Amino acid sequence: MIRLEPRTDPSQTMIILTPILAVLATMVVGGILFVTLGKNPFEAIRMIFWDPLFGEHAFYYRGQILVKAAPLIMIALGLSFGFRAGIWNIGAEGQFIMGAVMGGATGLALYPLDSFIVFPLMVVMGALGGFLWAMIPAFLKIRFNANEILVSLMLVYVAFNFLIGMVTGPLRNPDGFNFPESRSFQDFPAAHNPELWAGTGIHLGVLTTLGFVILAYIMITRHIFGFNVRLAGQAPRAAKFAGVSPNKMIAICLGLSGALAGMAGLFEVTGPAGKLTTTFPLGYGFTAIIVAFLGRLHPIGILLAGLLMAVTYVGGDIIQSQLSLPKASIQVFQGMLLFFLLAVDVLVNFRLRISKRISK
């Protein structure tokens, strides 16, 4: 029989090295994947991890890394508070979509108003859209003890179909020849999220994300809320005795993660995406789960993990164009990161015991 036995004193060094080991294991197994696809594994790994940072067009790619990392980091920061407290929001993708729809619809409703208040109002409504969508699993969890994992995940598909209904109905571009898409926000300056430095792609969402990293670090390390979150996750009974309300914690953590996911969706749809379409959802809400755990649920770790995952996004685009690899292979490669992170994490905290079954 093979069983897992908890380690009484897990190595702190190995806990810190777990993400690095997971990345190295992903490179090795990912290389095998590329070999089976008939590609040079060393060339593919180089294109994924080296070229975006130090390659021929590194200046452009570095800006794209920040642009792609921003929504991942913003969403992962929100998720990390809930995960620390034992509240599992798996539906950030749906909250990301609803934030984009609600914030985008606000801007489109004000078209063609030329006022400085339009974009800030869209940001607020985007955060509100994600918040309200996250409140559905929060309410069902508090009122009926419904599993927030299943509810939040199912709501992703509801949100996606709601998006389709909006871009083929009320939000469809009247000058778009019946294509399922909204007006372009680039044609509506007051609602557009332009790049701040020409040629980099960096927009206001990137700077906002960096601000949230600092704020999250202060909250988790210096604020009573961060202490309550850690206490609720590590010792739920002690948290109750300390006056921490489980229901209030569920509502706050789900609401916070939903608001940040919704805001990320708004920045994305008004910036890089440019418009609401049926292909707008990019999987950021799901990938952010990997980022949160790869970063050990710590704001600084999430920042680094988000940048790493963004490198794989940009590098994935490079090998798709230069090596003609399918997009699914890149998604498998990214999924390996979470798999190996969890596998190494288990081996750090548990040891394998093999014992013989004694027959009677």
Q: Mean pLDDT, the chain, as a whole number?
A: 92
Residue 314 CB partners (closer than 8 Å, separation 6+): 52, 61, 64, 65, 68
Give dist(CA 10, CA 15) in Å, integer.
8
Q: Mean pLDDT lowest for which of 8-22, 47-61, 248-262?
A: 8-22
pLDDT per residue as tens digits for the range 273-332:
999 999 988 889 999 998 998 898 999 999 999 999 999 999 999 999 899 888 888 889
Whether residue 57 has pLDDT greater than 80: yes
Q: Give the whole-number percent of the chain exceeding pLDDT 90.
A: 71
pLDDT per residue as tens digits for the range 71-85:
999 999 999 999 999
Average of pLDDT values for 195-212? Answer: 93
Whether residue 7 has pLDDT greater than 90: no
pLDDT of residue 328: 87
Specify burial of residue 19 (Cβ count, 10 A radius: 0-12, 13-18, 19+). buried
pLDDT of residue 360: 54
pLDDT of residue 349: 85
Phi-psi domain of 111 (left: phi exceeds 0; alpha: psi -120 through 50; beta: other): beta
Domains and CATH numbers, the chain: 1-39+325-360 (no CATH), 60-324 (1.10.3470)
pLDDT per residue as tens digits for the range 97-152:
999 999 999 999 999 999 999 999 999 999 999 999 999 999 999 999 999 999 99
Q: Which residues of 76-95 are buried (b: 16+ CB within 10 A; e: fewer)?
A: bbbbbbbbbbbbbbbbbbbb
Whether residue 165 has pLDDT greater than 60: yes
pLDDT of residue 176: 84
Whether residue 357 has pLDDT greater than 90: no
pLDDT per residue as tens digits for the range 211-250:
999 999 999 999 999 999 999 988 888 888 888 899 999 9
